[in-house]
Amino acid sequence: MCQWTSAKLEVFRFNRAIVRQPARSVASGLRAHDRGDPAYHGIRAEHDAYVAALRSAGVAVTELPALEDFPDSMFVEDPALVFPEGAILLRPGAPSRAAEAIEIAPFLRGLFEMVIDLPAGFADGGDVLVTPQEVVIGLSARTDHPGAEALATCLAQLGRQSRIVEAPEKMLHLKTACSMLDDETVLCTPGLAASGIFKGFRQIVTPEDEEAAANALRVNDVVLAGAGFPRTIERLGSLGYAVMPLETSEIGKIDAGLSCMSLRWWDPASG
C-alpha cells in the first residue's frame, strides 16, 4: 500500500506506472477528425515501445489486461488520477468510456489507502496537469464545470491545491496542448502560450505545424516526444533536455498522445 508523504517531489519524478494493453477493438476508438482507422499491430508496437521507454527511465510498470468492450481503454489516464497521497476515480465525459473507472477501481483500491470517487459532473484525466504549485484542471468537451469543481474538492482531500481554467478552443484536452518539462517550464502550443494560463512559467512554444508535439512526457531524466515532430525535438535538445523520440502515428489517429497511456506516481515505499 502507498503511504502518504508530505515531501515535495519534482512533478516529473516517477517510480511506478500503470498501463493497459490495447484492445483489438482499438480501431473503433473515438476521434474528432477521421484520419483513417489505426492498425491494431501498429498501436501495439507503439504501446510496447512506450512501456519499454518508461522502464528504461527507471519506472516499474504494471500492465493491466486489454478491455475489448472499451476501445479507448488503453488511454488509462482519463478514468483516474494517482498521486503519492492517493487516487481519484474520475467520470470520463464520453459515454462510451463511462465504465472504465469501474474497471480500474479494484486495482487502485488494492494499491492506495485513499481512493476517492468523483461525486458529480464529468472529468477526464487528460484535462489535468500537475504543477509544483497546484493541479490545473481544464474545462473541455470532456470535463464540465460540475466535474471540475468536484475534482477540486477531491484534490483538496489529498492536500492538493487546484485551479480551473478554460482549455484551448477545439482542443480535446488541456494536455493536448501542453506538458511539464521540469518544475518551472511548460511546453505548449502558441495558442495556449498566449492565453496567460501559465503566466510565471518559462514557456517553450511548439513550432508551426507541430502543435501536437506539445503532448510530450517528462519521466525522470528523459522527455518522451513524438518522433514525427523533428523541429520540436531539435529545440528541446538544444535547450539541454534528453529527448527520446517515440512513434505516435497510429495512436494519433484516435486523438491520443504520450501522457494518456499511463498513470504515473512516486511510491515512497518503492523508493
Cell of 83: 498521486
Q: What is the pLDDT of residues 52-76, one digit of tens each?
A: 999 999 999 999 999 999 999 999 9
Query: How confident is the model over 172-203, as pLDDT tens digits?
Result: 899 999 999 999 999 999 999 999 999 999 99
- Catalytic residue list contains 173: yes
Q: Would residue 260 show up in a list of annotated catalytic residues for this protein? A: yes
Helix (H) or strand (E) holding 107: helix 100-111
Grid cell at residue 179? 506538458
Tens of pLDDT along the chain (271 residues) come to: 333 333 456 899 999 999 999 999 998 888 877 778 899 999 999 999 999 999 999 999 999 999 999 999 999 999 999 999 999 999 999 999 999 999 999 999 999 999 999 999 999 999 999 999 999 999 999 999 999 999 999 999 999 999 999 877 778 899 999 999 999 999 999 999 999 999 999 999 999 999 999 999 999 999 999 999 999 999 999 999 999 999 999 999 988 899 999 999 999 988 7
What fold does the segment set 16-265 form as a domain?
L-arginine/glycine Amidinotransferase; Chain A (3.75.10)
**Which residue among 2, 47, 154, 173 is the active-site one?**
173
Pick the catalytic residue from 2, 154, 178, 260. Answer: 260
250 vs 247: CA distance, rounded Å? 8
Please give the span between the terminal C-alpha atoms of the chain, in angstroms, as a whole number: 13
CA proximity to 141, closest of 122, 125, 160, 157:
122
Q: How many CB atoms lie under 10 A from the CB of residue 262?
A: 26
